[in-house]
Amino acid sequence: MSETMLALVALMIAAFFAVSQQRGIVAAEREMASIELEVLASAVGSEMMQQIATKPFDAATVGMDPQDVALSDLTVATAFGHGLACPGGCDDIDDFNAMLPDTLFFEVGRDEADNPVGFDFTVTADVRYVDDNGAETTNRTWTKEVTLYVDQATEGGAQRFLLQPIQVKRQFSPQW
């Protein structure tokens, strides 16, 4: 009888160890998926930042030499875009501020029926003026900083693999 109990205890310990190992493997795979999604999200952010870089610095500088534009002619920070559908509805860099979330699909492959397989990411942006030290300011300057927030778009109870949004920052100036 005691041998049966010892065998049962040994079996329970082995089962506990196996379950513990499986949990560790699942956690490691989830972490790996999160890291891979961070790389994809960074690529999406870089792509969106490239689209923003194609836009004029400010509405006042469109078709003008920036040296011919007075600092006071630049858009005031409180008038930066709010709720615009970008990139289609954004004419210059500050229009991207508080844009409607843009959903971008990043394809990673094709399934058996040749349908795209990948992930949807939502992108939002903050635009602000920064001074020569890179600190945010409400004063007009010749430098605007764009911060993009890229997050995994999930529907309903879909599993999230990207644990936190990715931030991509870049400063723009017509003087560089």
Q: Pull the structure tokens for residue 126.
A: 């903050």
DSSP sequence for 67-132: GGS-GGGSPPGGGS--S--TTTT--SGGGGTTPPPEEEEEEEEE-TTS-EEEEEEEEEEEEEEE-T
CB neighbourhood size of 136 (10 A): 11
Domain boundaries, the chain: 2-172
Cis-peptide into 56, omega within 30 deg:
no
CB neighbourhood size of 154 (10 A): 14
CB neighbourhood size of 118 (10 A): 13
pLDDT at 157: 67
Residue 123 bridge partners (DSSP): 102, 150
Q: Pull the structure tokens for residue 141.
A: 């300057």
**Mean pLDDT per 10-residue interval, the chain, length 176 residues:** 85 89 86 86 92 93 87 93 82 92 84 88 94 93 96 78 90 88
Sign, Cα dihedral of 132, 136, 138, 141? positive
pLDDT at 171: 96
